Structure 1
Amino acid sequence: MATASPQRRWQAQCPNCGAPVEFASAASASAVCSYCRSTLLRDGDTLRKIGTSAELFEDYSPLQLGAAGRYAGASFVVVGRLQMAYADGGWNEWHILFDASADRPPRSGWLAEDNGSFVISFEAPLREPAPDPATLRPGGLQMLAGSAWQVASIVDATLAAAQGELPHPPRLDQRYPVIDLRNTAGEVATLEYSDPAQPGWSVGRAVQLADLQLTGLRDASGATLQSKAMPCPHCGASLEPKLASTQSIVCGQCQSVVDISKGAGAELAAYRQNTGGQPQIPLGTTGLLALNGGTPKSWQVVGYLERCDLPESSEDEQTFWREYLLFNQMEGFAFLVDTEDGWSLVRPITGAPSNAGSKTVKHQDKDFKHKWTYTAKVTYVLGEFYWRVKREERALVRDYEWRNGTRLELLSSEQTGNEVTWSHGRAVEAAEVRRFFSLPEDQMPALSRDVSSGMDQGTMLRNIVIAIFIIVVLFALLRACSDDECDRYKSTYGESSAEYQQCKRSSRGSGVGYVGSSGGSYGGYSSGGGGHK
């Protein structure tokens, strides 16, 4: 049981309203009054008002002031929060204070929400000039603090609101660049330019909330989430998110995509989308999966996406695939992906591979060879998502693979705007997918379209030859008489197949109603992307 309690507290009255303001650390320079939201600067034994913080918007984070935990053997307590905002969303940075030890005073750190997961980081002096943010590019390399970093995201952010005890006076309503960087050691670094003369530098690692032994979290019961229910702005049907981290939700009545990142009571942005297909694994289905070996854990399907690539010329074939967003309360999010080549199970990674941008990149001491580069787009979504699903957003994807006998691992980078996300996973057989989710056996023909789903080598070779023959014949027919461009999917997978139906819907849609990217892909394998934090 974690019980973090600072050794000494200092208290004074707010100079604006007279309410008590408490400091747990002598090192803290600022606080925000919980009664009048005055931003207070600590000056010796007195407090001086230097501004007023905006009201925090309700984002349903599981964390709150007073929550306690342990990290690397030391106890900490959550004492403050910064609520950051940028054009595509926002994130929280929680100020955590570690207990003093025999050899050092209380230490400040940050617990930041990052793409559906969490990162603990610590500020450090940067003993060299910080780079000009205008010279940085997503995916580019930068040497800092003796290490090579890959630029993961570049955003112009604003400190929208602050709460509690803080190590620095907050610079409210000031827009400044925030740069996220990753390295091959799995570390995450941040450069923030709120003070251009002395940019802030912090370094940390991803953590699982379950490993922090947290106590005092916000009530995540169904009763709390029901208060987040709101009407669809298009049809009025009730939207009731099941996850506290949901940023976008699809209306079950009219299939509109609704941005709920601002919380209940805010004006909701929404748009309609074309009708799509029904997922083979229904939303809400729960299965036992082991992502990278180890003990299987319970994962629930909370979202569904249909995606396609954008061919560079009319002679190139277009590919369609489907992705299932999976959620585990303690593990976060992962993706199960259904493509023409088979199924894969993947999730975002914290760091970045070495030799990024070359034909061969290294991750976990394995050499992944480049296979495809293409532009991907989401055409239809259902369920809930931890990022803001955007319309007409495209992503540049680079896919890599590593093989060892029958084992296939996948690695992918996806760039959307000024953000690059890497993801890693493995191929799985259709029979595994059926077992994961206890699907009916008669569903196997629809699941097992891939050539690696248990066929013997003779059957596999024969089917490949037949498929090539069919494609050649179809191509000749298409050129001769301009038949339906989706006939390739109809002939290969059947008229009722997901590929054929998805192709027909996309052709009818003519690009209208497309929505944004989910993250990274490997012929449909997703990294889960979304916002910077």
Structure 2
Amino acid sequence: MFSTSCPQCGAPLEFRSAAAVMAVCESCRSTLLKRGEAVERIGEMASVFEDYSPLQLGATGHYASRLFTLLGRIQLRYDAGYWTEWYASFDDGTFAWLSDASGQYAITTQKNLEGNDSALPRFDSLSPGTPFDFDGKRYLASDIRTAQCVGGEGELPFRVGDGWQARVADFRYEDRFITLDYSDADPQAGKPVVYEGESVELASLACQGLRDEAQIRESAGRYRGELAAFTCPSCGASLDCPAGVANYVICGSCHAGVDCSAEQATLFSKKRSVEAIETALQLGAGATFDGAKYTVLGLMRCRTSDAESSWDEYLLHNLERGFLWLVHSEGSWERVDVLNRWPMIGQDGQVLEAGKTYRERERYDAEVVYVAGAFNWRVQVGDKTSITDFAWRDFKMTRETTADEIVWSRAKPLSNSKVAERFGVPELSGGTASGAAESAGGGAAGKSEGPRKGAFGPWPWIATFAMAFINFNKLFEFDGSTVLVIVGMVALWAPEWIWRAVHEDSHVSRKGASRSTSR
């Protein structure tokens, strides 16, 4: 531990990590660069804004059987959101980064390539989906970001000054992460620092010294998830934003986009003239999923680039469980969960996940044509996404690609009756748009019978067993009679197979949109 005092204000200052080269004075916010046994003031760091995270300086945890302590952090903002990187120092002198992006956590440690860095790509050559072979695994680029450091505190293992930018690319393989950090790379050589790690649940790190809800409220003035009322900077309408959950609100009156992450709400998109639409669910509606109460925070209407198909998406949130989506398309409902663990991609392009093989069903481009409510990333009318749907029976995996990131999600069907039961709105189980509109403030509910197992029930099986019993001896003669029996069985099943194919094609219709992970 290295102890000194701040040359700006004289406050005591400690470097607890031998790897730290910079610290931020808690008293005057001066950024101090360590030079041997002295420190030099090189500027001033902006204060971090309240992110309602349970993490804080001094908190400890365990990862890979090693104890770490959180000694510093930086907050990084990009064009559609922000995230926080925590500097974690291990008790063996090494360090890691613990990222927090809207409650999704990943921990990474620096890798020494020992001169084997010839295959490292240049930052400007990367795009979502770019492969990167590392340690015998083929990782795929999940997002590429250029972000601005907007605040920091504590100790850091590198120099951060005014205008410092992070240029980073994340690569995914199931729940494994590779981060290529080009922030301080030579623009010509372009060699990044390589970090390896994985997605983690905060509970798995066995952290001590976290902030509880009372401490967060004392710091922020309100509880996480509590609605913060403010007025739209564009039209003056009254708006609400759930603190620490969603930082971007689309005004329902003028459709301007408002950034609520700072103390002063600012516009990120101008007032729009958008035609009003009716939806099956209203903002603020509550429903129970998996025994937990969720609330509808935001809604979007999307359509394909050829305008032949459209659908509605609802962002729901629970403080303990996080986010989930409901998609309403052509009278059918789906529950959609964004995946932290990516599926495997087979050599033939099939998607393998949890023992299921999903086959590509459809590719299309989607555009947001209406948006209202609160979101955990910046969304606006005109946002476009390239979507690929993969189907297994009535279930679906979706890959959504933008210029900056790839998001994977899994969808499963919900019947109208289930949606009506969960929201406590009986009219949603009906087959008319007007019935849903009268109770939920919207239309287009449609009629959905939910997934059916087959068109003809047990009759194909009964007929097959009867034919096999009657012609049992002929089955083993392997002559013309055997062929006729087999043809007869195929004929029995043909209507069922045709019905299933048609039903599956109609059920797995065009549905999807950009569900950002905020990093």
Same topology, TM > 0.5: yes
Look up the match of 1:246: 246
After TM superposition, the structure 1 = structure 2 runs for residues 197-236 of structure 1, keeping only pairs within 5 Å, are 197=186, 198-212=191-205, 215-217=210-212, 219-220=216-217, 223-224=221-222, 229-236=229-236
Compute the displacement of 1:393 (Å).
Answer: 1.9
Compute the displacement of 1:386 (Å).
Answer: 0.2
1:452 aligns with 2:450: yes
Cα offsets for 1:112-133 (capped at 9, x unmatched): 1336522222222234322112
2:61 and 2:446 map into 1 onto residues whose CA distance is 45
Compute the displacement of 1:247 (Å).
Answer: 2.6
Look up the match of 1:86: 78
Look up the match of 2:439: none
Look up the match of 1:118: 105
Compute the displacement of 1:24 (Å).
Answer: 2.7
Amino acid across the alignment from 1:97: S
Using CA pairs below 8 Å that are at least 6 residues apart, which structure has the higher relative contact order? 1
Report the CA distance shift for 1:439/1:369 in structure 2 as closer, same or farther (over 3 A): same
Conserved 8 A contact 1:348-1:527:
no
Compute the displacement of 1:227 (Å).
Answer: 9.7
After TM superposition, the structure 1 = structure 2 runs for residues 415-430 of structure 1, keeping only pairs within 5 Å, are 415-430=401-416
2:422 and 2:201 map into 1 onto residues whose CA distance is 23
Compute the displacement of 1:382 (Å).
Answer: 2.2
Q: Secondary structure at the match of 1:224?
A: coil
> In terms of mean alpha carbon deviation, does 211-220 or 127-136 score higher?
211-220
> In terms of mean alpha carbon deviation, does 337-346 or 210-219 score higher?
210-219
1:287 and 1:227 map into 2 onto residues whose CA distance is 18
1:395 aligns with 2:385: yes
1:330 and 1:176 map into 2 onto residues whose CA distance is 30
Q: Secondary structure at the match of 1:65?
A: coil
| Normalised TM-score (structure 1) | 0.75
**Identical aligned pairs, as a percentage?**
27
Amino acid across the alignment from 1:194: S
Look up the match of 2:484: none
After TM superposition, the structure 1 = structure 2 runs for residues 430-441 of structure 1, keeping only pairs within 5 Å, are 430-440=416-426
Report the CA distance shift for 1:138/1:331 in structure 2 as closer, same or farther (over 3 A): same
Look up the match of 2:396: 410
Q: Secondary structure at the match of 2:216?
A: coil
Compute the displacement of 1:388 (Å).
Answer: 0.5
> In terms of mean alpha carbon deviation, does 36-45 or 329-338 score higher?
36-45
Of 86, 90, 95, 2:87 maps to: 95
Amino acid across the alignment from 2:242: K
After TM superposition, the structure 1 = structure 2 runs for residues 25-424 of structure 1, keeping only pairs within 5 Å, are 25-49=17-41, 51-56=42-47, 58-63=49-54, 65-66=56-57, 68=59, 70-72=61-63, 76-98=68-90, 100=91, 105-114=92-101, 117-127=104-114, 128-129=116-117, 130-175=120-165, 177-183=167-173, 185-197=174-186, 198-212=191-205, 215-217=210-212, 219-220=216-217, 223-224=221-222, 229-252=229-252, 254-260=253-259, 262-265=261-264, 267-270=266-269, 271-290=271-290, 296-311=291-306, 318-340=308-330, 342-355=332-345, 359-403=349-393, 408-424=394-410
Conserved 8 A contact 1:53-1:162:
no
2:227 and 2:70 map into 1 onto residues whose CA distance is 25
Conserved 8 A contact 1:397-1:414:
yes
Q: Secondary structure at the match of 1:240?
A: strand
| Normalised TM-score (structure 2) | 0.76
1:366 and 1:57 map into 2 onto residues whose CA distance is 44
Q: CA RMSD in A?
A: 3.3
Report the CA distance shift for 1:14/1:421 in structure 2 as closer, same or farther (over 3 A): same
Look up the match of 1:485: none
1:353 and 1:372 map into 2 onto residues whose CA distance is 18
Cα offsets for 1:419-438 (capped at 9, x unmatched): 11111232222222222222
Compute the displacement of 1:376 (Å).
Answer: 0.4
Compute the displacement of 1:205 (Å).
Answer: 2.1
Q: Secondary structure at the match of 1:450?
A: coil
Report the CA distance shift for 1:524/1:223 in structure 2 as closer, same or farther (over 3 A): farther
1:300 and 1:400 map into 2 onto residues whose CA distance is 28
Q: Which runs of 5+ in 1 are unaligned?
A: 1-8, 291-295, 312-316, 469-520
Report the CA distance shift for 1:392/1:144 in structure 2 as closer, same or farther (over 3 A): same
Q: Secondary structure at the match of 1:424?
A: strand
